[in-house]
Amino acid sequence: MQQYSGPPKNLLRFLRWYCPPNLCEGIEGDLLEQYDNDCIEVGQKAARRRFTWRVIQFFRPGIILRNKFSHNPNQAAMIRNYATVMMRFLLKHKTNSVIHVLGLTLGLAFTFTAGVFVRQELQVNQSLRDVDRLYMIESTMKDGSFWYAFMSPTAVSTAACEEYPTLFETRFRYMDRMITVSKDDQHFRVQSIICDSTLIPMFGFPVLHGDATHMFRDAHSIMITRAIALRYFNRTDVVGEALTLSSQSGDGKQYDYNVTAVLEDLPRNSVTDLVDMNAQIFLSLKKDDVFLKAEPDQWESGGTSPGYIKLKPGASVTDAEAALAALMKARAPERLQKLNLSLSPLHSYYLETNNGRVKKLIYTLSAIALFILVLAVINFVNITVASSLARLREIGVRKVIGGRREQLVAQFLTESVVLSVGAFVVSVGLYAITRSYFGGLLGTTLAPITQLGFKFIGAMFVISLMIGIAAGIYPAFLLSSYTATESLRNRLPSPKGGGALSRALMTLQFGLAIGVFIFAVIINRQVSYFMEKDLSYNKDYVLTVSSVPRRWSEQGVRSMEVARQQFLSLPQVKNISLSWEIPAGNVGNRVNLGRVGADDSKTIDMPLLMTDEHFADTYGITMREGIFLSSDQQPWQPGNMVVTESAAKALGVTQGDQLRIKGDTVTFTVTGVVSDFHFFSLHETVKPMAFLHVRGTRAFRNFSMKLQPGNITEAVRAVEAKWQQVFPDEPFVYSFMDQELARLYKNEIRLKKASSVATGLMLFIVFTGVFGMVSLMISKRIKEMGMRKVLGASVADIVLLVSRPYLVLIITAFAVAAPLVAYASTRWLSSFAYKVTLPWWIFIAPVAMTLVLTGVLISVRTIRTAMGSPVRSLKCE
């Protein structure tokens, strides 16, 4: 005999793993015996091969399935029977099956969509390099007056990095510019930023082509994103190519810039995409007199800009803030001394900024998704419990032939899990179909399924498994608790017991649905109030063109006035105004104004708008007294100023009085007072404002064109044609005031749409649930109906009898939900300065609608049974 080395040990281990222990010895013995024989006959190598093959052959159902079930050989058949019974039951009760699956599917699809959205919002900024050490420098006014929090002194961060090298690692600042970028005959206005060269090393944005470490080689270097490269060159590898940028210094000159790097399209972040600007072109932050006239690191220029700073590992935020405060005290010029600086962590900045508006939206959406899931689960529980009568016999038979309770629980749980997994699969499909619609609704693009990643889909799958268990667990334990004798007699032990729970659950359902319904109505009302409220100016038919060439000089203003006349010659254009601002919340300058002669402490901080004399006419703003900056009789004088009514009152001035800016000697003459109007969003009250003429400030951005009512498309086309004549090198970028306003209320409009969809879904789920419950109840009470009719009940009596409990449920639900909604909506509305009132009918109308719809639904379902001949129904069973 050859040297015995034995068969492969691993294979024996494998055999022992899958083989039932009681059979293992015999099988192993046979295998070893054959192996020994083979060793003698064909040699050890071949014997080992054959042994391997035989072990694999033993890995077959006939062996494996004998594992722990060996005492119960019919297990496989039993499981098959479970499936058969389940399918039979589902097909027999088609309505209820559809309600089960549809409710779960809709709920899961909504959750899936909301989940994708929430995940995308949570991921903003998370991909930035070392995001835990990145901070935004935020500023507030020491006296509490208004200041853009993201604007901080430009010079402070550089000084901080130089003087406190142990605390700060590096910094990044930028100024945003809209620049007309041309190549050959392509002209577009592109959002650009003039920024520090630390953009790539500090935030780690991915670079597609080019050298990111030396991206700003000279003053004429630019970086662009992939989207811009594709737009101008139709390819991405464009390092070394040139683009022509139009200067803003007023000389109307154009400069060629060389592309040094192409960036991958940037993920959403609070650096290049702060306040939704989404910058595409990056220029060097150096004084060049083309786009930047002041040295950014000079304190004296007093410039402010968004600033970001990176702390050293381990440096504390408190120390860093103290360092910044010390720097400000020592170095900042007087006009910046009134600012308090603080550091806001960038990883949560996006969620927390603007009073945590994004966070609130995320919470609201998640709550709605949760509510919808709860409704779907309640439908499932109610219908399963209510229809259990039909399965009592099955339960009885299973128990009699030896089914243990755990087996029954497992059977019912599996059923609900299988259903919810099925619903999950359908809901993923539903997501794929409705993705673009909901993306538009939420004002973002929702990623396609393939980009969601395994983890997310896995998590959603686990959630749907848990939903299945949550929905199935109560029915499973309830149904399996009946004793065999009771079940076989087809009699429920306590018919009222399940009834109370199901009533409570339905009250919860109605409460949630009605609550969301009322809230949606309130949100809708508030949003339409935003859009329809009299803003004290006329926004209708106002076309704003933001791509006005920035020739910011005296000749520039004059050439714009010539251009204005050319547009005015169009019959469709009623009036035109050249200005920096349009009344959509964005203001360029703020000043502290006071009466000449009055104390510095009596000055008032207010926005200073730069417009021409046609602004009031174009926007239909009423003059209270005087003229708007100039008129035919009174030509414009430098120093002419207009203030709003509230400003005139606060400053105590009338037409002809003199005003001055705090800390300055220049004086202005009030030529007129206009009525107050809503320049800012309705989150805020009207505030005092002042106007100066663009001729004096020599800066402007927009043409506002009041069009004649009528064919607007035609009018826009005419204006565009004229534009190409007047400014052949400038793109035509326009929007309507309505659209600009809609942008102001972006979050509210999102919430409005989401809550409307949610209301529809929730009502649908609740009504299908009611429909299912009523159907089941009627099928159980056919005989009773017959008796009642014989005893003289009318059809109406019967319908009323069936619907009464539901009407009581709705009223109860309403009584609980209404105060909660009233509280929540008052809190929500408190963030707006101008808000709708909450009249009583806002609460009553939704509940009345729900009552009527439920009544109709129940009548439709009941009436056939109620109309049927009692002879037939009495014979039933």
Partner 1 sequence: MSKEYLGEFEELVLTMVGILGEEAYGNAIVTNIKDRLGREVNLSAVHVTLYRLEDKGLVKSGMGGATNARGGRRKRIFTITNAGISLLRSMKEARMDLWKLIPQLNINIA
Q: Residue 74 CB, nearest distance to partner 1 (Å)?
A: 10
Q: Which of 49, 60, 393, 717 binds partner 1 (CB under 8 A)?
A: 60
Q: Is 48 in the site for partner 1 (CB under 8 A)?
A: no
Q: Which of 10, 21, 30, 869 binds partner 1 (CB under 8 A)?
A: 30
Q: Residue 58 CB, nearest distance to partner 1 (Å)?
A: 4
Cβ(813)–Cβ(514) under 8 Å? yes
Q: Is 144 in the site for partner 1 (CB under 8 A)?
A: no
Q: Which of 11, 14, 18, 27 binds partner 1 (CB under 8 A)?
A: 27
> Which residues touch 379 (CB under 8 Å, ≥6 apart)?
99, 100, 103, 509, 765, 768, 769, 772
> Which residues touch 56 (CB under 8 Å, ≥6 apart)?
none
Q: Residue 32 CB, nearest distance to partner 1 (Å)?
A: 4
d(CA 797, CA 218): 89
Query: For 206, which DSSP code?
Result: P
Q: Residue 450 CB, nearest distance to partner 1 (Å)?
A: 43
How buried is 506 (Cβ within 10 angstroms: 0-12 exposed, 13-18 middle, 19+ buried)? buried
- For residue 785, CA distances in Å to 383, 491, 744, 862 come to 22, 20, 59, 10
Nearer to partner 1, 73 or 760 (CB): 73
> Which residues touch 204 (CB under 8 Å, ≥6 apart)?
127, 128, 129, 130
Q: Is 51 in the site for partner 1 (CB under 8 A)?
A: no
> Which residues touch 36 (CB under 8 Å, ≥6 apart)?
none
- Applying the rule CB under 8 A, the residues between 613 and 632 that interact with partner 1 are none
H/E element, 107 = helix 94-123
Nearer to partner 1, 32 or 149 (CB): 32
d(CA 877, CA 578): 84
Q: Using alpha carbons only, give the angle 385, 389, 391 rounded to the nearest 5 degrees.
A: 95
Q: Is 494 in the site for partner 1 (CB under 8 A)?
A: no
Q: Which of 10, 25, 211, 638 binds partner 1 (CB under 8 A)?
A: 25
With contacts defined by CB under 8 A, name the span among 54-62, 405-413, 517-525, 648-656 that binds partner 1: 54-62
Q: Residue 394 CB, nearest distance to partner 1 (Å)?
A: 23
Nearer to partner 1, 30 or 162 (CB): 30
Q: Which of 8, 11, 14, 36 binds partner 1 (CB under 8 A)?
A: 36
Q: Is 602 in the site for partner 1 (CB under 8 A)?
A: no
Count CB atoms within 10 A of the CB of residue 206: 13
Amino acid at 703: F
- Applying the rule CB under 8 A, the residues between 248 and 267 that interact with partner 1 are none
Q: Residue 26 CB, nearest distance to partner 1 (Å)?
A: 3
Nearer to partner 1, 64 or 141 (CB): 64
Q: Using alpha carbons only, give the angle 718, 720, 722 rounded to the nearest 5 degrees.
A: 70
Strand intervals (E) in 477-541? none
Residues that contact partner 1, how many (by CB under 8 A): 21
Q: Residue 1 CB, nearest distance to partner 1 (Å)?
A: 12
Q: Which tokens belong to 769?
A: 């649930």
Amino acid at 870: P
Count CB atoms within 10 A of the CB of residue 57: 9
Q: Is 49 in the site for partner 1 (CB under 8 A)?
A: no
Q: Is 13 in the site for partner 1 (CB under 8 A)?
A: no
Binding mask 67-96 for partner 1 (x = CB under 8 A): ------x-----------------------
Q: Is 34 in the site for partner 1 (CB under 8 A)?
A: yes
Q: Which tokens belong to 90?
A: 């589902």
Q: Which tokens belong to 495?
A: 């018919």
Q: Which of 11, 14, 18, 66 binds partner 1 (CB under 8 A)?
A: 66
Strands 690-693 and 604-611: what pairing? parallel
Q: Which of 47, 58, 339, 680 binds partner 1 (CB under 8 A)?
A: 58
d(CA 387, CA 779): 10
d(CA 807, CA 714): 55
With contacts defined by CB under 8 A, name the span among 62-70, 214-222, 623-631, 804-812 that binds partner 1: 62-70
d(CA 373, CA 377): 6
Q: Is 742 in the site for partner 1 (CB under 8 A)?
A: no
> Which residues touch 10 (CB under 8 Å, ≥6 apart)?
none
Q: Is 23 in the site for partner 1 (CB under 8 A)?
A: yes
Strands 221-225 and 254-263: what pairing? parallel
Q: Residue 494 CB, nearest distance to partner 1 (Å)?
A: 40
Q: Is 206 in the site for partner 1 (CB under 8 A)?
A: no
Q: Residue 2 CB, nearest distance to partner 1 (Å)?
A: 16
d(CA 344, CA 205): 21
Q: Residue 393 CB, nearest distance to partner 1 (Å)?
A: 24
Q: Is 757 in the site for partner 1 (CB under 8 A)?
A: no
Nearer to partner 1, 49 or 533 (CB): 49
> What are the beta bridge partners of residue 702?
579
Amino acid at 605: D
Nearer to partner 1, 61 or 597 (CB): 61
Q: Which of 48, 54, 187, 706 binds partner 1 (CB under 8 A)?
A: 54
Q: Residue 71 CB, nearest distance to partner 1 (Å)?
A: 11
d(CA 820, CA 842): 14
Q: Which of 5, 13, 62, 406 binds partner 1 (CB under 8 A)?
A: 62
Q: Which of 32, 161, 844, 845 binds partner 1 (CB under 8 A)?
A: 32
Q: Is 368 in the site for partner 1 (CB under 8 A)?
A: no
Q: Residue 31 CB, nearest distance to partner 1 (Å)?
A: 7
> Which residues touch 495 (CB under 8 Å, ≥6 apart)?
none
Binding site for partner 1 (CB under 8 A): 6, 23, 25-34, 36, 54, 57-58, 60, 62-63, 66, 73
